[in-house]
Structure 1
Amino acid sequence: MGDRNNAHPGAAGRAATADRPSSLRNVVLVGHTGSGKTTLVEALALAAGAVNRAGRVEDGTALSDYDEIEHRQQRSVQLSLVPVEWGGVKVNLLDTPGYADFVGELRAGLRAADAALFVVSAADGVDGSTRMVWEECAAVGMPRAIVVTHLESARASFEEMTAICQRVFGGDDPDAVLPLYLPLHGDEGPDGHAPVAGLIGLLSQRIFDYSSGARVEREPEGEHLPLIEEARNRLIEGIIAESEDETLMDRYLGGEDVDIKTLIEDLERAVARGTFHPVLAAAPAAEGSKQGLGTVELLDLISGGFPTPLEREMPTVTTPKGAPRPPLTCDPDGPLAAEVVKTSSDPYVGRISLVRVFSGTLHPDETVHVSGHGLEDRGHEDHDVDERIGALSAPFGKQQRVLPKAIAGDLACVAKLTRAETGDTLSAKDDPLLMEPWVMPDPLLPMAIQAHSKADEDKLSQGLSRLVAEDPTMRLEQNQDTHQVVLWCLGEAHVDVVLERLRSRYGVQVDAVPHKVSLRETFGEKAAARGRHVKQSGGHGQFAICDIEVEPLPGGSGIEFVDKVVGGAVPRQFIPSVEKGVRAQAAKGVSTGNPLVDVRVTLLDGKAHSVDSSDAAFQTAGALALREAAAKCLIHLLEPYAEVQVLVSDEYVGPVMSDLSGRRGRVVGTEQAGPGRTLVRAEVPEIEIGRYAVDLRSLSHGTGRFNRHYVRHEPMPPQIAAKVREQAQSGGTPPR
């Protein structure tokens, strides 16, 4: 595993293929922004012979040319696939964004992969979000390895970074996180920093020297032996502790020499089971070099130690109607079951779906059944249709290399799936299946938009529907109370990407406008009033008079209408007209244009005319009476409150609770939610948490998570309500 250089790089210019699941490895790269994931993918592609020394594919484009938005933002914003071959194994490398706003792309990568490479920068350390993803992978038993990058930095130390990883990732068993190689430093430069020039293989006790631009294997020198001995003994003990041979540790401690082949086999099994996590070092190839530091060792680890798709637990499947089905197996001859893990649009090809095949074999130009869960709350329609797919291909930079088929365990891009969205299941048309969905983060940052022009307004609906199909982490809301189109996103960077995609891909220019919360009005006291609608202008006039009394009700009561008219002062046929007018005015509001709720309106008396009274006249009179009553008494503004649950590291509990109090929130409880984590529950006005998704991330250094749900409306403080009324009277936007 890295000590055995028996791999044969794949040839550039053709699609990497696999004819059986055992020759496949699906690996997702995880790490914070700037840790070097994309650079590492390019270095592995170079070592595997998939690109030339300049990182270019055969058409001259760069391997990293995925998205114009990524170039403008100078960071990855979407999941990308790079397939390479190594030692007869097809390796699907899934590069994920490191920024928290694009965690949906990370989750898609975790769904599509069978193992994870955690890329950590020796210059920056391990951030909180990377640690949380590690814990998620541990919870499902996903095999993991660690790659240390940026060792060229003056303050970088592989040894210190390994110790940090053992503390952060190892938990109660730091010996489950150990290096397979030690860095070999070259001569010190003028700054006193000695660059890493090679690696020392602890199992083989061999030197792998990269200083010449190519990997050269040689015997260690005497000065290296003491360095090797302690680390090697600890590594061997760590491997043996995970061995299935329970006698091996006793034999080793008894002085028996353990065969290196046995150690490598035990190591590979422990890595594949997810119980041992090797640490490696890697760096991109220097100018003119054929291989980057540690890339051969890493490819050997992936091909030899990471699990095949055969070893993965399959997602649960049912029929689209919810009936149970037998568990899937990773069998190319089994029933077809594939999942769309990413959807993108190409201006020339149209919609392209990245698909993971879990069972069966997917062929180009065949008709498949598309089943979707429908995420109606996020603007995704439920669907259950047959569709004919187009060509299958493997992405490579901006190229799409044609594939003859995609077997169980493999990933491929599918063209012409016009109805399928991210998360949908593809299955045989005569045997439709539906996979259990993976967990997607809840978008909690609202952005209200409006079309920039009439031409944009005509294209907005179609552009939004396509955007929602691509991005299941975005929720589209048509708010009936505020009449706003609201896009709920994961953060400000996510907002920027959404707006840019609307503009560049779909030709829709929109303007962001302040987001409004759904306010309500109610009476603060009892009031009585008369609604008088009397007009005479020749011919039939309009005559309606009604006397009402309005009184407040408990929250959640809605609008009650009571008829207490006696003696026929208001004819029976016009009483529903009065109620209709009252309810219509209540929906429009009586003070700030927000709906009136939680009042009882009692019709006490009135007058009618035998000729001039009508349904319309009494509707108008009822509305006038309600407005008159409102003018005579105190009107309370009600604002929505949300129950907010914040999951945060213990060290940030104090700042989080203080921040919630500063937002007029009421902390209602805290509880332990696992080692070092606390769940804080609070009720907070929604007007105060519009940007909480951004603010919490800053407050907790990226480690905090929260969810929210509406609980009730409560009276707004008088000073804030006064500002809302001023804004309503001036036609402006209520304060946030």
Structure 2
Amino acid sequence: MGDKANAHSGAAGRAPTADRPSAVRNVVLVGHSGSGKTTLVEALAQTAGAVNRAGRVEDGGTISDYDEIEHRQQRSVQLSLVPVEWGGYKINLLDTPGYADFVGELRAGLRAADAALFVVSAAQEADAVAASTRAVWEECAAVGMPRAIVVTHLDTARTDFTPLTELCAGLFGGDDPDAVLPLYLPVRGAEGADGHAPATGLVGLLTERIFDYSTGVRREDPPDEAQRPLIAEARARLIEGIIAESEDETLMDRYLGGEEIDLGTLVEDLEKAVARGSFHPVLAAAPAADGGKQGLGTVELLELITGGFPTPLERAAPAVTSPEGASRPELACDPEGPLVAEVVKTSSDPYVGRISLVRVFSGTLRPDETVHVSGHGLTDRGHEDHDVDERVGALSSPFGKQQRPLAQCVAGDLACVGKLARAETGDTLSAKDAPLLMEPWAMPQPLLPLAIEAHSKADEDRLSQGLARLVAEDPTMRLEQNQDTHQVVLWCLGEAHADVALERLRGRFGVQVDTVPHKVSLRETFGGASAGRGRHVKQSGGHGQYAICEIDVEPLPAGSGIEFVDKVVGGAVPRNFIPSVEKGIRAQAARGVAAGYPLVDIRVTLRDGKAHSVDSSDAAFQTAGALALREAAAEVPIHLLEPVAEVAVLVPDDYVGPVMSDLSGRRGRVVGTEQAGPGRTLVRAEVPEIEIGRYAVDLRSVSHGTGSFDRTYARHEAMPPQLADRMRGQERRAS
């Protein structure tokens, strides 16, 4: 690894294939938006011979031609797979969006991968690096995923490799910064007119050789005498870092005793330490200069991936159960084993239909076979729970807008599957006679509401199907049909996520929608005891209507609902009409008595009334009950109740003060704080839901992108009078 012969494997014109798990490497690229992940993927594909020197595929497009939305927004919004071949290995490069709103796509990439490349831009501020990547780094560390760091944009003025590697060691090294060290140092060329000297090559610290990329083709040279002292210092630290991770406990003593450790031993120990996730090398990479076919550091990076990153055989598969929940033995990554695969991404193509990106964990997936699809039952997010058999369509390997056919997909590999009409992201594909269900991965909660309405009658007819297809593709989105406010609400991860959802509804599913203000579920209650009389008497010829009832109303504690008490004596209201009175009262309570919000937390006592032997009826007493409740409401103040949420905000310690101040400004009550790991605090508060509709966006600003939160409904509480009056005024104007 690193400094091997300049092996080269082209894959242009055909789909890279693998016939065994040991020939596969699944690598996810992680990094802040703008760090250069997609550009790096294109540079690696060009070096591997998958695209031409202009970065184009055969049809004239580029490998980043995935979604029209991405072109318009000039940023990645979804997980993309780019398979390439290098040195006899198939490398599945999983390019993830860097923007926080699309963390669901990142989680899917982590699920499908066996190792991660953290892409850090030398041109970005240190805060951006820390805020956007540290949480993901810790997430990978928790499951032992091997990681390496790639520094990009070294061709930008006023960038420096060494301080950035030291920053990464501090951020990602934890208690052992020597576990994060560079394998190469950049070699600068001649200074330009702006005084900046671009990186033109790399010096290998283990081999002490210079790899010159200045011509667009990698050339190996010896270092000059001026470079040797700089190499020696960094090389010594790297060797000590590698030896510290070696399984040979005698190696450090031998090295400190002056023994020269041979290169083969160092490379072997380095590869083992990287594969088990205990050592994290830092590399540098850049696209090829104009006319070049190999970008700076791309050969070294491909060699690291094939030599140092683990095969699927070395990574444990997620746990599996039967669809009924019975435990099953741990899966082995065996092409001859039982079929178990997982849908990690779902997308729609206007010509092909639904396409499922699948990671095969066991067995071999073949076209035209029938598989069992087991769903995870995310019904709270609008995802259908299902256990069905489906016929697999064609298998293909994506490359930009192309889909190159595959004969099969072995355990450890990834492929696109066509025509799975019922399968959604997160579903398991298994043998139809032995169905299995994989343990789901953690999906972030969508906490930004987007209320929508169909733009026209034609859109209304298509809306339901369009929304169903939209949430089938994106498990981080939740669809809600709110019974209280009668709104259709898409819960998203942020504004960019919401924008993409609307654009997909319009462009992909042909549904035009309008956004409307999101409403929270308000309630009404009595501000004191009252009494009311309902008189419904009509005798205008023919069969008349006659019903009179008298009620007492008193408020109850929060959460009591509506109680109905019958205290009629002497048959003033016949027994068969007492349920009618209650039905009328409850129906009126559901409609509200002041601002049109449901009435709750009262006790209604029916104490008297009158009936007519001929003209009284069920409908008449329902109407009388409703009239009595409205009259009682007119005699006392009616309080508006608003929902209050329990909010738990997780932030770095530096942002606890600003977060608590912000919550207080939202009429929140901070109920406590607690440590939630090194340098992080969990702030617990109770906040009115009307104040946190945009908190998913605002917290990102307050905490510089480092905070996260969750919320649960706690109860309804009385709204401040001034705010309640304003809400009533808004309702009157709207009606």
Q: TM-score range by the shorter chain?
A: over 0.9
In structure 2, the partner of 1:24 is 24
In structure 1, the partner of 2:54 is 54
In structure 2, the partner of 1:479 is 482
Counterpart Cα distance in 1 of 2:75 and 2:215: 31
In structure 2, the partner of 1:183 is 186
Counterpart Cα distance in 1 of 2:108 and 2:14: 26
Q: Does the Cα contact within 8 Å between 1:522 and 1:598 map onto a contact in 2?
A: yes
In structure 2, the partner of 1:309 is 312
Q: Which runs of 5+ in 2 are unaligned?
A: none
Equivalent AA in structure 2 for residue 83 of structure 1: P
In structure 2, the partner of 1:689 is 692
Q: Does the Cα contact within 8 Å between 1:10 and 1:16 map onto a contact in 2?
A: no
Match of 1:396 among 378, 384, 399: 399
Counterpart Cα distance in 2 of 1:107 and 1:730: 45
Note the alpha carbon deviations across 1:612-671, whole angstroms, 9 max, x for none: 111000000000000000011011110000000000000000000000000000000000
Match of 2:426 among 413, 423, 426: 423
Q: Does the Cα contact within 8 Å between 1:421 and 1:469 map onto a contact in 2?
A: yes
1:163 aligned onto 2:163: no
Shift of 1:278: 0.3
Counterpart Cα distance in 2 of 1:493 and 1:322: 37
Q: Does the Cα contact within 8 Å between 1:449 and 1:512 map onto a contact in 2?
A: yes
In structure 1, the partner of 2:296 is 293
In structure 2, the partner of 1:210 is 213
Equivalent AA in structure 2 for residue 246 of structure 1: E
Shift of 1:313: 1.3
Note the alpha carbon deviations across 1:339-380, whole angstroms, 9 max, x for none: 000000000000000000000000001000000111011001
Counterpart Cα distance in 2 of 1:367 and 1:352: 16
In structure 2, the partner of 1:572 is 575
In structure 1, the partner of 2:346 is 343
Note the alpha carbon deviations across 1:94-146, whole angstroms, 9 max, x for none: 00000000000000000000000000000104141211111111111100000
Alignment of structure 1 residues 575-654 onto 2, 5 Å:
575-654=578-657
Counterpart Cα distance in 2 of 1:81 and 1:381: 26
Equivalent AA in structure 2 for residue 33 of structure 1: S
Shift of 1:8: 2.6
Counterpart Cα distance in 1 of 2:32 and 2:728: 45
Runs of 4+ in 1 over 4 A off after TM superposition: none
Counterpart Cα distance in 1 of 2:584 and 2:506: 44
Alignment of structure 1 residues 707-722 onto 2, 5 Å:
707-722=710-725
Note the alpha carbon deviations across 1:466-514, whole angstroms, 9 max, x for none: 0010000000000000000000000000000000000001100000000
Counterpart Cα distance in 1 of 2:728 and 2:620: 30
Counterpart Cα distance in 1 of 2:558 and 2:288: 67
SS in 1 for 2:227: helix
In structure 2, the partner of 1:446 is 449
TM-score (norm 1): 0.99
Shift of 1:6: 4.7
Counterpart Cα distance in 2 of 1:672 and 1:580: 51
Counterpart Cα distance in 2 of 1:444 and 1:501: 20
Counterpart Cα distance in 1 of 2:216 and 2:39: 17
Note the alpha carbon deviations across 1:379-399, whole angstroms, 9 max, x for none: 011100000010000000000
Q: Does the Cα contact within 8 Å between 2:6 and 2:299 map onto a contact in 1?
A: no
Alignment of structure 1 residues 507-546 onto 2, 5 Å:
507-546=510-549
1:80 aligned onto 2:88: no
Q: Does the Cα contact within 8 Å between 2:130 and 2:171 map onto a contact in 1?
A: no
In structure 2, the partner of 1:469 is 472
Counterpart Cα distance in 1 of 2:384 and 2:263: 56
SS in 2 for 1:222: coil
Q: Does the Cα contact within 8 Å between 1:7 and 1:88 map onto a contact in 2?
A: no
- Backbone CA RMSD of aligned residues: 0.7
Q: Does the Cα contact within 8 Å between 2:643 and 2:713 map onto a contact in 1?
A: yes
Aligned length in residues: 732
In structure 2, the partner of 1:229 is 232
Q: Does the Cα contact within 8 Å between 2:245 and 2:278 map onto a contact in 1?
A: yes
In structure 2, the partner of 1:43 is 43
Counterpart Cα distance in 1 of 2:614 and 2:316: 79
In structure 2, the partner of 1:373 is 376
TM-score (norm 2): 0.99
SS in 1 for 2:64: coil
In structure 1, the partner of 2:198 is 195
Equivalent AA in structure 2 for residue 155 of structure 1: R
SS in 2 for 1:135: helix
Counterpart Cα distance in 2 of 1:5 and 1:73: 41
In structure 1, the partner of 2:64 is 64
In structure 2, the partner of 1:11 is 11
Q: Which runs of 5+ in 1 are unaligned?
A: none
In structure 2, the partner of 1:103 is 103
Shift of 1:171: 1.4
1:263 aligned onto 2:251: no
For residues 292 and 6 of structure 1, do their structure 2 counterparts lie closer, same or farther at Cα, with a shift above 3 Å needed? Answer: closer
1:364 aligned onto 2:367: yes
Q: Does the Cα contact within 8 Å between 2:375 and 2:426 map onto a contact in 1?
A: yes
Counterpart Cα distance in 2 of 1:196 and 1:427: 49
Equivalent AA in structure 2 for residue 283 of structure 1: A
